[in-house]
Structure 1
Amino acid sequence: MIWTLLRLPCTVVAAIKQLVARTFFLAVVFSVITWSSILLYGMFYWSYIPKSSHLFPVHLHFESRSCPEGFCDYPVANVTVVRPGYGEYLARGQRYKIYLDLEMPESDANQRIGMFTVKIDMITETGEVVRSSLRSGVLRYKSAMVRLFSTLTYIPMLMFGSAEEKQIVSVLLFDRYEEDYVSDG
């Protein structure tokens, strides 16, 4: 009986050690499974899910076209959304919102011009127009008093170039643009 009582703490300690070892083993297994699933999900997402946004620079140049007064110069830009040797940026069957963000100076001339129109043509490699959109945009109006107070407030930053008098006008060109499944070529 005494030997049983003396061995009882050893048995309890052994049981606690075994419980700690099992708990540690289960925690390691759970951690490995969790991190493996996160890694596999990330690899799948990176491989198959298209990017949520694509940014392309728009470099405008002027083209002369005929208009009622003679010839007028219009700013035009061509943006390619196909990477040479890599394929297309836009996934077929995926819907996209296409915006044009224009950085425009808050000049008197731009305020006088008022509303302007932006046209986008989505064309194939052969030059065929598949979709077209025509949308308008305008600088946000600021009264002369608001512009004066804004200029006076920001005069030190404007002088040292850390601030600019400009607005970013965002024009929604396509709300639900989708590339066709049919081959364009």
Structure 2
Amino acid sequence: MTSGVKTRIERLLLALLLLASPAAQALDLPELMALLAAKRSGEARFTEQREVRGLDAPLTSSGTLSFAAPDRFSRKTLAPRAESMEVVGNIVTLTRNGRTRSVALDASPETEAIVESVRGTLTGNAQSLQQHFRIGVLGSAEQWTLDLKPLTPRLQVMLAGVRIAGRGGELRSIEMKMADGDRSLMTIEPISGVTKQ
């Protein structure tokens, strides 16, 4: 066997190994949802950068996130000013400037879809995500990305897409792109010792 043929065979074998390796580690939607659903509750710190058309600099906020399966999700913004959003079942409660307002999520399908993009992911609820989004999963259990594209024209008018990245059963970032060009990127740092399985 000539050295040229041997080199080509070695390259072919290496290419086959490289192709086979990611396939063995690739994550699909049911596996990712099972990984996320295994965490029944958790708490994390977040920092969010929002780019809004017409503003020269991004808006920055920070605070905490928490969730408890099957249907509780809370976002408490601590800076630049205190405000909160808590979702329990079908009710979302917003508190800002000392005023509290509660509304049913199903009264606003667009708001419901945006809330479910996060809550459904945190709780590993594929059915909830599939009601509103076309879903793409990339990566492995060690590092994954979930791409959510709105299904309905009504939601597409508002939201271009959501990209959620994580490691294991933890979310690490949430990027929302709005249809008007606005964008937000939330980075998430789990608070150790709080997450329960």
Q: Same fold (TM over 0.5)?
A: no
Using the size of structure 1 for normalisation, the TM-score is: 0.32
Q: When you count strand as a share of all residues, which structure comes out higher?
A: 2
Rg larger for:
1
Using the size of structure 2 for normalisation, the TM-score is: 0.31
Q: When you count helix as a share of all residues, which structure comes out higher?
A: 1
